[in-house]
Structure 1
Amino acid sequence: MKLKYIIYLGAVAFLLTNCGLKDRYEQPKIEEESQKGIVRDNVSRDSVSLADISWKSFFTDPQLQSLIEEGLKNNYNLQNAVLQIAAAEAGYRQSKQAFFPTLNFAPTVTANKTSKNSLNFPSNININLKTTTVSLGFTTNWEIDIWGKLASQKRANFANWLSMQASKNAVQTALIASIANAYYSLLALDRQLQVTEETIRLREAAVVTLKALNISSSTTSADVAQAEANLYAAKVTIPEIKQAIREMENLICTLIASPLKEIPRGALDNQTMNKELKTGVPMLLLSNRPDVFAAEMNFRKEYELVNVAKASFYPSLNINSGSIGISALTTRTLFDINSFFGNLVAGITQPIFNRGTLKANLRQQRVRQDIALNSFKNTLIQAGQEVSNAMYAYQTIEDKKEFREKQVESLMKAVEANRKLLEFSSRTTYTDVLVSEQNLIVAQLSQINDQLLQYKAMIELYRALGGGWKGE
């Protein structure tokens, strides 16, 4: 008869568990018009996004690849993100165990000595006042998940685990982009140093030429002095560029968690990068971003915690204590069949006087859910802005590229022509040469900066699309 009631109680608990109060999670819906406005640029939207390219295929420079590998291995922020994943995984595994009863092995030895004066027996009767009880048994506690509270908590912890994984991927994409940006900035500084050194050599030659012309009275002493001043002006920038190079090398060393050292590197003019702008469908491309996925999983966690708060209003069915084992007064009879014992205490707990606290907790959790939803939507908007800005920045540099090349080419011709006129004709002064040289070096440095900005735009687009965490 008792077994019948236990089976009946278990069946009722099972039905209640499957008819819980939890709401089924659905991905937040973004209005169609909002989806269209996430990315505004008219570029190729192939089903294969730029973000699906592994970072080793995107960045082809072997030295840069080595630096990125070192950074992924050593960077402390990335290591902390991995540790946070481990902590979240432990929380998820713990919530899975909540569905099962606890089981503890509880051996006990109890010794009692009863006061003779406390017993109502004749004084002539000999009574054993000392007893020793030996027990070997197991104890258990179990909360049956009637309303889905434990299931919702498990899903919340699972969403938190996924969010931590996505956050780690976001740290990785940002780290790769930071290393690449610093590397290309270093190459640009090398190129600036090279252009400045070439300018110094040309200005040294100009000083020699002007001094020779001054002897023949073809130029004035003022022209010679001005040429020397221009030479020193170029030389004074060399230490500044070298300082910037050292600082950029130190930044890279910090990113890869390496002792400060000289960074092995290639040349800016020899760099190649995947420049085919395939971004994918707007919502799809942004869902590839780890920070977007992390924001969604954070919303899902808060959503499930609302279900936990709802379930807290309803009765909980608990096996408060249960034990089974063997007990005897002597070890000789401990394993006798008559030494077996067992007990089970089950009950239902219904909150009464703390409903105000439960209501406040539910309101707070719903607010946290709304905040998480707004954060998710805001992350989407920011992601779309970053993609759009990166694509437009790249296209802007691409539009300037042809004109910049023609500008540098024309200025080089102008400098050469003015130098020849200065040397062989009186129709040109050193001022004309100086102006053309200044214009040339400004254009050359601008061209280097354009190259750097184009690489940075590509890196930013790759990061903004969520590239860098898939594959190797």
Structure 2
Amino acid sequence: MKIQIIGWMCATALLSSCHIYKSYERPEVQTAGVYRDTVSVNDTLVSDTANFGNLPWKEVFRDARLQALIEQGLAENISMQTALLRVEQAKAGLLAARLAFAPSLALTPNASVNSFDGSKAIQTYSLPASASWEIDLFGNLMNGAKGAKAGLLESDAYRQAVQTQVIANIANSYYTLLMLDKQLEITEKTATTWGEQVRAMKALKNLGMTNEATVAQSEAYYYQVQASLPEIHRQIRETENALSLLLGQTPQRIDRATLEEQEMPDTFSAGVPLQLLSNRPDVRQAEMALASAYYATNQARSAFYPKITLSGSAGWTNSAGGMIVNPAKFLASAVGSLTQPLFAKGQNIARLKISKAQQEEARLAFEHSILNAGTEVSNALFKYKAAGEKRTQREMQIQSLRSAVDKTKQLMQLSSSNYLEVLTAQQSLLSAELSGVKDSFDQIQSVVSLYQALGGGRGESNFK
């Protein structure tokens, strides 16, 4: 008896060394310095327990109209609905994997009528119920269930990744509309002002105080400004249509606020690099894909070990050998079987090699997702810093150009400056004002990008 116990212990230790019973463990990955700070001397982000990506999305996007659009998108977006269906499929797969531990039951009633050489027909019947149960001694079913659980977590992480993407896309489209609205306002105001200037120049020409060339130059600039208006209207229409698609609705006008009304957070902390592993849904999705591949490899290993199955049947029959028994009698049977694979045409070996290769592929994808996350955080941090600096310089440029326009107009009235200088200054001012609006948009967009890069808006996982 002691020898048998020692034998089972050795067998268990051997199987454990082959990973059949081991649970998935996260591989060693480089997370320190995975993304770069924008100001520190050693160019490595200083650790901070706070994380901008942990804020609820309503605390980041405070515009009530935008919040309503995001809520609509999360409910109606086609990609979100597809992601939810993937979660449901994974839940069904996990349920099937767990039920594999239970015995299978079947009811197989049958009846027959037999007659030999014109003799009296013999009627027989049976009402048996059969059951079979696989004893999971070598971890095949266990690894299947764990793999299915990892698949469910992977699907849920995918849903969260889609959610962060939907929120970011809706926010970016909304802010794009606000930027275009402001550019349209500036351009229309410039066109109105310059139209009045053209009429004034024509009046001066009639009085002999200017020439035909000056009037032609002013008209050409007026038409140039007017020609830019249809392009802005086109961009607004296309952006509204794209946003409507994100919201799961037919193309229509989008109710919105103004660019000046937007309030965005202005201080950020990216958090310690390790948080990328738990916050970024795409990183978690990649890790769960690795876990699923790990358990698939364990299943492939378990195929080399015996398969033990218990089966039995019980029921009623009126057939007992060569005689007819009425009433029916109770019938029961039980069978135990062990199947040890010896030669399966190389299928088990090939399956294990494929599983190992797929596991290594999943590990590389997991490492790449971490590096990609760090790159996106680094880019978003620097984009916000650069956008702020550019916006500050642009505001100074606009102030200088407005002063230049006023002064050239005054000089022209004193005949010390020609009209071409006024025209040039006005063109530069319009270009700078439009660029200033784009700079404001870029700074807001960098906040959205950083929030998404840190896993913001993902919501809570529904499964642990």
Same fold (TM over 0.5): yes
| Secondary structure class of the residue paired with 1:444 | helix
TM-score normalised per structure 1:
0.89
Equivalent residue, structure 1, for 2:439: 450
Give the number of aligned pairs.
Answer: 443
How far off its partner does 1:434 sit? 0.8
1:224 equivalenced with 2:215 (yes/no):
yes
Question: 1:263-274 alignment to 2 at 5 Å?
Answer: 263-274=254-265
Instruction: Provide the rounded CA distance (Å) in 1 between the counterparts of 2:231 and 2:325.
Output: 89
298-307 or 355-364, which moves further after superposition? 355-364
| Secondary structure class of the residue paired with 1:282 | coil
How far off its partner does 1:141 sit? 1.4
Equivalent residue, structure 1, for 2:92: 90
How far off its partner does 1:267 sit? 0.4
Structure 2: gaps of 5 or more residues: none
Instruction: Provide the rounded CA distance (Å) in 2 between the counterparts of 1:257 and 1:194.
Output: 29
Equivalent residue, structure 1, for 2:361: 371
* 1:48 maps to amino acid: A
Equivalent residue, structure 2, for 1:254: 245
Equivalent residue, structure 2, for 1:406: 396
| Secondary structure class of the residue paired with 1:346 | strand
Instruction: Provide the rounded CA distance (Å) in 2 between the counterparts of 1:148 and 1:355.
Output: 23
CA 1:447–1:232 in 2, change beyond 3 Å: closer, same or farther?
A: same
* Aligned match for 2:309, one of 318, 329, 333: 318
136-145 or 264-273, which moves further after superposition? 136-145
Instruction: Provide the rounded CA distance (Å) in 1 between the counterparts of 2:216 and 2:24.
Output: 79
Verify the 8 A CA contact 1:279 1:285 in the aligned structure 2: no
Q: Which has the larger radius of gyration?
A: 1
Q: CA RMSD in A?
A: 2.4
Instruction: Provide the rounded CA distance (Å) in 2 between the counterparts of 1:63 and 1:465.
Output: 24
How far off its partner does 1:238 sit? 0.7
How far off its partner does 1:417 sit? 1.9
Equivalent residue, structure 2, for 1:394: 384
CA 1:37–1:289 in 2, change beyond 3 Å: closer, same or farther?
A: closer
Verify the 8 A CA contact 1:16 1:147 in the aligned structure 2: no
Equivalent residue, structure 2, for 1:54: 56
How far off its partner does 1:18 sit? 12
Verify the 8 A CA contact 2:126 2:318 in the aligned structure 1: yes
* 1:219 maps to amino acid: T
Instruction: Provide the rounded CA distance (Å) in 2 between the counterparts of 1:420 and 1:264.
Output: 42
- Identity over the aligned pairs, expressed in percent? 36
Instruction: Provide the rounded CA distance (Å) in 2 between the counterparts of 1:242 and 1:263.
Output: 14
Verify the 8 A CA contact 2:380 2:447 in the aligned structure 1: yes
* 1:253 maps to amino acid: S
CA 1:286–1:432 in 2, change beyond 3 Å: closer, same or farther?
A: farther
CA 1:442–1:286 in 2, change beyond 3 Å: closer, same or farther?
A: farther
Equivalent residue, structure 2, for 1:123: none
How far off its partner does 1:81 sit? 1.0
Instruction: Provide the rounded CA distance (Å) in 1 between the counterparts of 2:410 and 2:203.
Output: 14
* Aligned match for 1:354, one of 307, 328, 344: 344
51-60 or 225-234, which moves further after superposition? 51-60
Instruction: Provide the rounded CA distance (Å) in 2 between the counterparts of 1:447 and 1:44.
Output: 32
How far off its partner does 1:40 sit? 4.2
* 1:315 maps to amino acid: P
How far off its partner does 1:414 sit? 1.4
Verify the 8 A CA contact 2:143 2:298 in the aligned structure 1: yes
* 1:383 maps to amino acid: A
Instruction: Provide the rounded CA distance (Å) in 2 between the counterparts of 1:35 and 1:324.
Output: 63
Equivalent residue, structure 1, for 2:204: 213
CA 1:38–1:355 in 2, change beyond 3 Å: closer, same or farther?
A: farther
* 2:335 maps to amino acid: V
Verify the 8 A CA contact 1:286 1:384 in the aligned structure 2: no
* 2:216 maps to amino acid: A
Instruction: Provide the rounded CA distance (Å) in 1 between the counterparts of 2:376 and 2:139.
Output: 40
How far off its partner does 1:326 sit? 2.2
TM-score normalised per structure 2:
0.90
Verify the 8 A CA contact 1:155 1:304 in the aligned structure 2: yes
Instruction: Provide the rounded CA distance (Å) in 2 between the counterparts of 1:93 and 1:286.
Output: 27
Verify the 8 A CA contact 1:115 1:129 in the aligned structure 2: no
Instruction: Provide the rounded CA distance (Å) in 2 between the counterparts of 1:80 and 1:350.
Output: 43
Instruction: Provide the rounded CA distance (Å) in 2 between the counterparts of 1:318 and 1:96.
Output: 17
Verify the 8 A CA contact 2:183 2:437 in the aligned structure 1: yes
1:71 equivalenced with 2:59 (yes/no):
no
| Secondary structure class of the residue paired with 2:126 | strand
Deviations 1:232-281 (A, max 9, x none): 11001111110111011000011111111111011011111223212211
How far off its partner does 1:73 sit? 1.1
Structure 1: gaps of 5 or more residues: 1-7, 117-127
Verify the 8 A CA contact 1:166 1:294 in the aligned structure 2: yes
| Secondary structure class of the residue paired with 2:268 | coil
How far off its partner does 1:411 sit? 1.1
Verify the 8 A CA contact 1:298 1:372 in the aligned structure 2: yes
Equivalent residue, structure 1, for 2:21: 22
Verify the 8 A CA contact 1:44 1:277 in the aligned structure 2: no
Question: 1:136-151 alignment to 2 at 5 Å?
Answer: 136-151=127-142
Question: 1:26-175 alignment to 2 at 5 Å?
Answer: 26-31=25-30, 34-41=31-38, 42=40, 45-115=47-117, 129-175=120-166
* Aligned match for 1:465, one of 434, 454, 458: 454
CA 1:82–1:199 in 2, change beyond 3 Å: closer, same or farther?
A: same
Deviations 1:425-445 (A, max 9, x none): 100111111111111111101
